[in-house]
Structure 1
Amino acid sequence: MDIPVGRELGDFLRSRRARIRPEEVGLPGHGRRRVPGLRREEVAHLAGVSVDYYIRLEQGRGPSVSDAVLDAIGRVLRLDDTEQEYLRTVARPADRRASGARRTSAAGSAPQRVRPGLRLLLDTLDRAPAFVLGRRMDVLAWNDLGDAVLGFSQLPPEERNMPRQVFLNPLTRELYPDWPAVAAETVAHLRLDAGRHPQDRRLATLVGELSLGSEDFRRLWADHQVKEKSYGSKRMVHPVVGELTLPYETLTVPGEPDQMLVVYTPKPGTRTEERLRLLASWAATPNGC
């Protein structure tokens, strides 16, 4: 089953309306309101479109909508660049269905592959944990230090997926002291992927599995946050070397828009850098002894 298009658009717009207080956009904030945030009529007025047009758009049954209208709605709802891109994607189901169909036709049913040159690049990053994520945040490849930090090779192939590990593996909560933030970031990126690929049956299956298995995932998925996985920092408590503070950079692989190279970049001279050297040495020793 595909991810519902009209409902996805409507739920996203309603969630963005709910977070805007009327006084933030120059409207009176007093008086009784049945729902938090802006009313549909208020969004339509501020965006310069008719109320009927906006209601049909939110219900997913409107005509093809222009960039100018989407930009106006985005300004009213104070969308950031990623949210605005997501709005444009989900507001044009015909375009994204065609795009998704072309990608599906091009890729077929074969699993995603990491080209040899990228694998060689991973191996040259011997001082930085690194790995490649594909569609649905599947883990496609990694270097030795990335494996030593996150243990990808110890997982069955079907479990090498970041959302599945974050929400269905209880050990992940021990690995990440800031687990709530990691969980929210993971869902926000998965939601962005879902917007770009509405016909991905494997993604729909994954979302269903996570929804059944995790109340936290259901709550975060319903919040409709979207976010690029671009850069940031994660704290981890590794079972061998202890706490690590790992800034990271995420780069889209040239020629492979659905693959991302994630590189953890420990600051020179820190305890984390020292502990990663110890971990690399430990991992290179047979049986970790």
Structure 2
Amino acid sequence: MLPDMGSPLGDFIRAKRDSIQPEALGLPERGRRRSPGLRRQDLAARAGVSVEYLTRIEQGRDRNPSPPVVHAIADALSLDVPERAHLRYLAKISGGECAGHTRPEPPPRQVRPALLETLRLLEPGVAVVANRLGDVLAHTDGFAAVMADSGLLEAAEPNLTRYVFTDPRAREFFADWDAVADEQAFDLWLGPTVANSEWLSSELAPVAGPEFTRRLNLHQVPARGPLRLAHPQAGPLAFDREVLETADGSQQLVVFLPADEATEQALAQLSRGRDRDRDRARVRTLRAV
């Protein structure tokens, strides 16, 4: 019988396992060993897979681990962002998650005219049209006023889930960051399509790391209490959220309602400040002409 030829993916996992001392991961020292590093059974336990399955991957006998397994192994090895990207690339060339099919595409960003008109009628309220992946598809000026200093709307195609897990400003802006992160990860399971959810999950997992993948696999329904913001200008804000689903379930209209009088007053000040900025911009334009 011919010996297993291995694979780049298996070789990398084995090399990383051999380079890790159990103590670095909080595991007990097990005395002298024939080989250095982390034992295969310890890595399998941390990744939530069987020793037999991990052995097949390392030996190249299983070249098609699923994306969740690849992400779980990355978490178990405590890989950094470049190492995670490399692990996914090796899974691809070894015949894994991306081989043999077209990469899933993000969902369409078009918003129906009726929804856009609804947003217009909600001005100067705080409202947004989004999907379960966190794509910000359209919003009121009131929403822009609240989010202006957060960094969320700086992206060409803003996405709340990506912002929460990859932008350090999100941890300061959201007073209950952990709860918001739980919501965004859970909602990926409810995305417009399975392919859309897989697309964003595969995009985020290498850069967001365990904070994302752990939450993604919890399958715990979030409580969705009031949304509390630590606004850099207006101070603490609190909103109740009213969520209206579109007929096909692919998009949502989310209306943010002030949860207390202080928030209502702060919103009025933000709205007045935005009107003043518009007036100044209009004057500058007229003078330039």
Pairing 1:211–2:205 present: yes
Where 2:243 maps in the other structure, the secondary structure is strand
- Partner of 1:156 in structure 2? 155
Aligned counterparts of 1:208 and 1:277: Cα–Cα separation in 2? 40
Q: 1:238 is matched with which residue?
A: 231
- Select 1:133's aligned residue among 130, 138, 158: 130
Residue 128 of structure 1 deviates from its aligned partner by 2.4
Q: Deviations over 1:94-144 (max 9, x none)?
A: xxxxxxxxxx9xxx9883311222112112222421000125221110000
- TM-superposed CA distance for 1:286, in Å, is 2.1
1:266 has 2:258 as partner: yes
Relative to structure 1, the CA distance from residue 113 to residue 135 in structure 2 (aligned partners, 3 Å threshold; closer, same or farther) is farther
Q: C-alpha separation between the residues in 2 aligned to 1:134 and 1:281?
A: 29
CA contact (8 A) 2:111 2:137 kept: yes
SS in 2 for 1:265: strand
8 Å contact from structure 1 (residues 192, 226) kept in 2 = no
Judged with a 3 Å threshold, the aligned counterparts in structure 2 of structure 1 residues 180 and 154 are, in CA distance, closer, same or farther, namely closer
Runs of 4+ in structure 1 deviating by more than 3 angstroms, as ranges, are 151-154
Contact 2:189–2:197 (Cα < 8 Å) also in 1: no
| Residue equivalent to 1:20 | none
Counterpart-to-counterpart distance in 2, 1:187 and 1:226? 10
Q: Is the 8 A contact 1:131 1:146 kept in 2?
A: yes
Check the 8 A contact 1:233/1:248 in 2, yes or no.
yes
Tell me, which stretches of 5 or more residues in structure 2 are unaligned?
1-44, 46-103, 281-289
For residues 278 and 168 of structure 1, the distance between their equivalents in structure 2, rounded to whole angstroms, comes to 30
Once the two structures are TM-superposed, the CA of residue 147 in structure 1 deviates from its matched residue by 1.0
Answer whether contact 1:122 1:143 (CA < 8 A) is retained.
Answer: yes
Deviates more, 1:214-223 or 1:141-150: 214-223
Q: 2: CA distance between counterparts of 1:210 and 1:217?
A: 8
Q: Secondary structure at the match of 2:250?
A: strand
Matched, 1:222 2:214: no
Aligned partners of 1:181, 1:170: CA distance in 2, in Å?
16
Identity among equivalent positions (%) equals 33
Q: Secondary structure at the match of 1:137?
A: coil
TM-score, L = length of structure 2 = 0.54
Q: Displacement of 1:164 after TM fit?
A: 0.3
CA-to-aligned-CA distance 1:177-220 (integer Å, 9 cap, x gap): 11011111111111232xx722x1x4323212221112210111
